[in-house]
């Protein structure tokens, strides 16, 4: 029990430290993109759409790669986690509507 707790805390510390670095890298990338679009004379509406895209990606993922963060989880836990994220959408698909949850998760 204690070793699992220690392992989880260590992973969380790694994620937090990467998030700060990632935040800085994101801001630098956005700044370069904004500078490039300005230098290319792109219309303001297009520049705003591009910036909105990058901001949305940042808000959604915060620079973290789910595959990297959860790579240490056993495959059955990763499958359940993925199902919880997309299950409601999958359950609406006509060809999966009648399927058991265990079938979809597998």
pLDDT digits (tens, 9 = 90+) for 22-36: 777 788 888 898 899
| Nearest in space to 105 (alpha carbons), one of 77, 67, 65 | 77
- Mean local confidence (pLDDT), 27-55: 88
Position with higher pLDDT, 84 vs 96: 84
Distance CA 40, CA 90 (A): 42
pLDDT score of 51: 86
Q: Is the pTM of this model over 0.75?
A: no
Does 19 score more than 60 pLDDT? no
**Which positions ≥6 away from 11 have C-beta within 8 Å?**
69, 72
Q: How far is CA 4 from CA 24, 63, 72, in A?
A: 31, 25, 12
Does 96 score more than 70 pLDDT? no
CB 58 within 8 A of CB 26: yes
């Amino acid at each position: 029990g204690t070793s699992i707790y220690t392992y989880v805390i260590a992973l969380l510390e790694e994620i937090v430290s990467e998030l700060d670095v990632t935040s800085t890298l994101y801001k630098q990338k956005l700044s370069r993109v904004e500078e490039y679009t300005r230098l290319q004379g792109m219309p303001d509406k297009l520049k705003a759409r591009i910036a909105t895209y990058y901001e949305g990606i940042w808000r959604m993922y915060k620079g973290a790669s789910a595959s990297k963060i959860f790579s240490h989880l056993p495959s059955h836990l990763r499958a359940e986690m993925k199902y919880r994220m997309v299950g409601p959408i999958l359950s609406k698909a006509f060809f999966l509507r009648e399927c058991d949850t265990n079938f979809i998760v597998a």
